[in-house]
Amino acid sequence: MIAASKHTRFSLLGSIQKRAPRLNPQLYTSQSRGGQYRNLDLGWSGIVIVHRRSAKGLGFATVVIPDTHEDAATDPTSAALRMSYYVMATRVRRELHLGYEGQSEPPLLAQVNRGDLQRG
């Protein structure tokens, strides 16, 4: 899972630990002062939760970006935003899932052709 905010990452970790501990979640943050969330085990057999900037150079079978709504205020044609999504989307080997909160798709997703993005 690749998420933008620290709050979202820790919320995801807590929810998974509480509801599905068998999924064995691991969180990495470069802001950790201690050792608990400071090391990333790339051989981990479970869910890995990282910040968008920490995903560069990593690869996963499945990538979930649960918070695309966080970018709703950003110009969807912004080169920086598009590069960020390019990096996140190219971390995946099999499946990419884009999630958002709210009643309508964020502008970045809304501009993607229906044939290029499965919705539902």
pLDDT per residue as tens digits for the range 57-112: 999 999 999 999 999 999 999 999 999 999 999 999 999 999 999 999 999 999 88
| CATH 3.40.50.300 assigned to 2-110 | yes
Supply angle C-alpha 61, 62, 63, rounded to 5: 130
Q: Which pTM does this prediction carry?
A: 0.90
**Residue 35 predicted with pLDDT over 80:** no
Q: List 51's β-bridge partners, or say none.
A: 3
**3-state DSSP percent of the chain in helix, strand and coil, to 5:** 35, 20, 50
Looking at residue 107, what is its pLDDT?
92
Q: Specify the DSSP class assigned to residue 103.
A: S
Average pLDDT over the chain, rounded to an integer: 92
Looking at residue 30, what is its pLDDT?
85
- Mean pLDDT along residues 8-14: 96
Is 92 in a helix, a strand, or coil? strand
Q: Give CA–CA dist 56/6, Å, rounded.
A: 17
